[in-house]
């Protein structure tokens, strides 16, 4: 890959996009393009079309999305469906119409059916019903995967979809109403600790199994996809290892130094019983994760402590 190629990273200020930006800079890519939402509204089709016609990027990495945890997905189904559809459709179609050489679409493991056989292989897509609490986001992302697949089939373009497992790391969203489980736990345990080791109440039973991938590993996977030609359109990105939410809570409690009680509110939903990705396709292609979970959480908590006064807190209207 030409280090002078113009690469547009949509969502470059977010946790994933910023990690990709840092990884590409480290590798020596010198022509990175990123615009804030104030500079370019990705939900405005005309603005996006004008941007592509003017900038003519050679590569596009779509890390732009409206994201959130169970509560946010459950409470705001329409924007999670519609905003993501509009954003990705504008980016995908403008990329096709303006000769983008390579398009990397980032999705989520929630695209797979709730009760699909574990670990989740790419070919179980659309084989069953989705998890109800995040089906809106999942449906949008499935549409993006299929749009990229259609472009590969009809036009022979190098459009590829990467489906990461649960991501975490620096620049995550730590807002308790809209964040995912791992950053929410970090904040809850930290605040409970500094307020006298108060009890921490967590949703569900703690029984579900989840897999977590450090965002720097995800960025490395994107770089790998950028610098290699994949034979297929859809690849899972994860560690291939999972743990119970209860075990995750105990690990974060240890790392943060909280010494109080953990209370499980079983009246709240658990979500999907298990969500472990089969990552054999990426491994066969030549990539695998390298950051262990305890190391990754410790690094994330260190970043949280350094930025606790200005961490990003997304509020949904």
Binding residues for NADP(+): 11-17, 106-109, 141, 164-167, 180
What are the residues facing 7 on neighbouring strands?
Answer: 32, 59
Taking the CA of residue 282 as centre, how many other CA atoms within 13 Å lie in the half-sphere pointing to its CB? 29
Could you tell me which residues are annotated as the binding site?
A: 11-17, 106-109, 141, 164-167, 180, 188, 203, 210, 270
Could you tell me which residues are annotated as the binding site for substrate?
A: 188, 203, 210, 270
**CB contact set of 274 (below 8 Å; sequence gap of 6+):** 118, 208, 209, 210, 242
Would you please indicate which residues are annotated as catalytic (active-site) residues?
A: 137
CA dihedral defined by 282, 168, 173, 69, rounded to 10 degrees?
70
Distance separating alpha carbons of residues 120 and 11, to the nearest angstrom: 27
Residue 129 has what DSSP assignment? P
Nearest CA to 104 out of 24, 213, 13 is that of 24
Radius of gyration of the chain (CA): 19
The angle subtended at Cα 106 by Cα 101 and Cα 107, nearest 5°, is 140
Distance separating alpha carbons of residues 184 and 157, to the nearest angstrom: 39
Residue 228 has what DSSP assignment? S
Burial (CB count <10 Å: 0-12, 13-18, 19+), residue 99 = exposed
% helix, strand, coil for the chain, step of 5: 45, 15, 40
């Amino acid at each position: 890959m030409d280090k002078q190629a113009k690469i547009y990273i949509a969502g470059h200020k977010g946790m994933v996009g910023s990690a990709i930006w840092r990884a590409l800079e480290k590798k020596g890519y010198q022509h990175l393009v990123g615009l804030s939402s104030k500079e370019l509204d990705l939900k405005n089709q005309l603005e996006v079309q004008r941007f592509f016609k003017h900038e003519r990027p050679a590569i596009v990495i779509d890390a732009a999305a409206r994201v959130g945890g169970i509560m946010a997905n459950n409470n705001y189904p329409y924007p999670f469906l519609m905003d993501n559809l509009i954003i990705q459709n504008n980016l995908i179609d403008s990329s096709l119409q303006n000769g983008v050489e390579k398009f990397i679409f980032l999705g989520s493991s929630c695209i797979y059916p709730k009760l699909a056989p574990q670990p989740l292989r790419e070919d179980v897509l659309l084989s069953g019903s989705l998890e109800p609490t995040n089906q809106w986001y999942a449906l949008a992302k499935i549409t993006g995967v299929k749009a990229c697949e259609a472009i590969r089939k009809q036009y022979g373009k190098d459009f590829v979809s990467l489906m990461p497992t649960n991501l975490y790391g620096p620049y995550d969203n730590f807002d308790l109403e809209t964040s995912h489980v791992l950053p929410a736990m970090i904040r809850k345990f930290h605040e409970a600790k500094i307020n006298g080791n108060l009890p921490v109440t967590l949703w569900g039973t703690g029984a579900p199994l989840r897999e977590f991938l450090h965002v720097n590993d995800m960025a490395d996977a994107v770089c790998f996809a950028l610098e290699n030609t994949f034979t297929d359109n859809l690849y899972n990105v994860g560690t291939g290892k999972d743990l119970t939410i209860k075990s995750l809570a105990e690990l974060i409690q240890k790392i943060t130094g909280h010494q109080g009680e953990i209370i499980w509110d079983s009246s709240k939903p658990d979500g999907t019983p298990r969500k472990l990705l089969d990552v054999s396709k990426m491994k066969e292609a030549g990539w695998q994760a390298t950051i262990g979970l305890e190391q990754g959480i410790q690094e994330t908590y260190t970043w949280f402590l350094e930025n606790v006064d200005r961490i990003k807190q997304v509020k949904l209207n």
